[in-house]
Amino acid sequence: MVARPAPTVHPFPDVVSLGRAAAHELCRVVASALAIRPHCHIVLSGGRAPRELYRALAADFREEIPWDRMHLFWTDERYVPEDDPRSNYRLAREALLDHVPVPRHNVHPMPTDLHDSEDAAEAYAETLRAHFSGPWPRFDLVLLGLGSDGHTASLFPGSRAVAEKERWVMAVRAPVKPSRRLTLTLPAINRARNVWFLVSGTEKASALRSVLMESPQPQRCPAAGVRPINGSVTWWTDSAASARLGLPGRPPNRPLLE
Ligand code: 6PG
């Protein structure tokens, strides 16, 4: 069995500095990918910390990225119209895509306009297969959030999707609204070269500590199932989220359960 490298944790005082540092590093990942391949494939996510990264990219790093060589995908989507305020595509569009010269045909949002979300999941898998000829997609970078319940993408505790071994994309029902969603599966995420979790806020502190220090079962904490086979995991956190990790210079750990 190949040993997986330990995850790296980058703590920042606040979500804005987290977003800016991650944007800077994202440019480095893009440059490395484009030095050896014609295109760079990045998977975007919803959530507050990813939004700060998108804003920083648009504001400060717009000129650093050859946008015509980028292909952008999504980890998951709420099954709502693309202009709905709850849409993850809309979040990325408003924070990033409207402000950078990425060609429209390089942007691949998950479809949410088919009657049956199972058909939409299959359609998105076909979209991915048009870019990746192997048995699994090989993204350069997957951006993920973390829920206070341990969910990531739209993989929620106890969901059958957490155990999926074959499909790349699934239609799921989340225990929170909006319930209908599409999500990449763990094996599709775990083929990525780089996976970044972007995590901010006090309400994430227990889940973050659990994933990093307790190795919970993925069925209980789906984020713990993110373990790239031939890639790295990096955690970008603000001080509120990392408060229970006992990092140097941080307040001492408090017990996980109080
Ligand atoms: C979604 C997301 C989800 C999100 C986390 C964190 O559509 O709900 O993709 O996985 O990233 O729930 O979101 P926040 O950072 O906003 O709490």
Task: Please write the tens of the pLDDT for every residue from 139-148.
Answer: 999 999 999 9
Q: Give strand pairing partners of 169.
A: 184
- The verdict on the CB of residue 183 being under 6 Å from ligand 1 is no
Measure 126 CA to ligand 1 centroid, in angstroms.
25
Paired tokens of 190: 């775990």
Whole-number percent of the chain with pLDDT over 90: 92
Measure 70 CA to ligand 1 centroid, in angstroms.
23
pLDDT tier at 258, thresholds 50, 70, 90: very low
Residue 55, pLDDT above cutoff 80: yes
How confident is the model over 50-67, as a mean pLDDT?
A: 98
Residue 84 phi, psi dihedral angles, 5° rounding: -70, 140
pTM of this prediction?
0.94
Predicted local confidence at residue 214, as pLDDT: 94
Predicted local confidence at residue 2, as pLDDT: 57
Chain mean pLDDT for the chain: 94
Q: Considering Cα of 230, then 236, then 242, then 247, what sign does the dihedral take?
A: positive
Predicted local confidence at residue 3, as pLDDT: 64
Higher pLDDT, 122 or 246: 122
The answer to whether 61 and 23 are in contact (CB under 8 A) is yes
Higher pLDDT, 100 or 258: 100
**Using CA atoms, how far apart are residues 142 and 184, in angstroms rounded to an integer?**
10
Predicted local confidence at residue 255, as pLDDT: 32
Paired tokens of 124: 């998105």
Predicted local confidence at residue 1, as pLDDT: 53
- The verdict on the CB of residue 77 being under 6 Å from ligand 1 is no
Residue 188, pLDDT above cutoff 50: yes
Residue 46, pLDDT above cutoff 90: yes
pLDDT, tens digit (0-9, with 9 covering 90-100), for 230-247: 999 999 999 999 999 987
Residue 256, pLDDT above cutoff 60: no
Looking from the CA of residue 78, the nearest atom of ligand 1 is 7
- The verdict on the CB of residue 153 being under 6 Å from ligand 1 is yes
Nearest to 14 by CA among 203, 241, 252, 233: 241
pLDDT tier at 5, thresholds 50, 70, 90: confident
